[in-house]
Structure 1
Amino acid sequence: MSSSTPEQHDQDDLRIPVIEEQLAVGTRVVDAGRGVRIHKTVSEQPVTIDEQLAHDVVEVRHVAVDRIVAAGETPANRYDGDTLIIPVLEEVLVVERRLRIIEELHISRTRHHERHQETVPLKVERVDVERFDEAGNPPVS
């Protein structure tokens, strides 16, 4: 065991307290008794604008042409003065029927006269009528 004196014991057990602070943060509603008022005013001022404006008027005319275009010649858009000309195209199926002469028949008439004789049998019927009197007798000739 230790042979320490009470005075020594007090010197050996020196105690130092350690202190830590803690912070708690929060919010709360406080009635200050005052509100907020916002007042806004809008005013109008007339402003004159002086600008030159332009607009175009377009006239479209349909002009009938009805012309066949050669194969491989697709017409393009063109200008005639200030007028833009746009051709409107249509494909047309062309079926063509042609007659081809494969031969000719040439027919000529020539009249010939010749005499012809031949014996042919002919049938001839003859009728004789004979009359009788009322008694059934042939007439007297």
Structure 2
Amino acid sequence: MRESNSGSVEMSETDKPDTLVIPIVEEEAKVAKRQVVSDRIIVKTTVNTEERVLKEMLSQETVEVERIPVNRVVDVVPQLRTEGDVTIVPVFEERLVVEKQLFLVEEVRIRRTTSVESVEVPVTLRKELATVERLDGSGEPITE
């Protein structure tokens, strides 16, 4: 018996065994994996500050109260009324005389005025910046 280059088994006439054994071969592949650092990054943050002056208009409303004596007899209760920017609130009382009369004692006049003022307030504003640097596996910077 002789084996040829092609892997097959040949038998000669002198070899006459009762059984013929042919080896069967099988290959196996195994796959393994591992983690490898190919590159890294570095993130740096910086904070920049900027001084600014904010300007804003502020309004302020003031109320002026003026009491005007009227001292006059009226037939009905006067209603609250507005004349321009003045609100007039009637104040009355009942006085006992031989007959009851409605007597207007005074009017309270309320005037509103508004003033505007420019205000400047210094403030510090912060702005954060991030820079990213990529490094290869050996720690050298990667330039793109």
TM-score, normalising length from structure 2? 0.31
- Structure with a larger share of its residues in helix: 1
Greater relative contact order: 1 or 2 (C-alpha under 8 angstroms, separation 6 or more)? 2
TM-score, normalising length from structure 1? 0.31
Higher Rg of the two aligned structures: 1
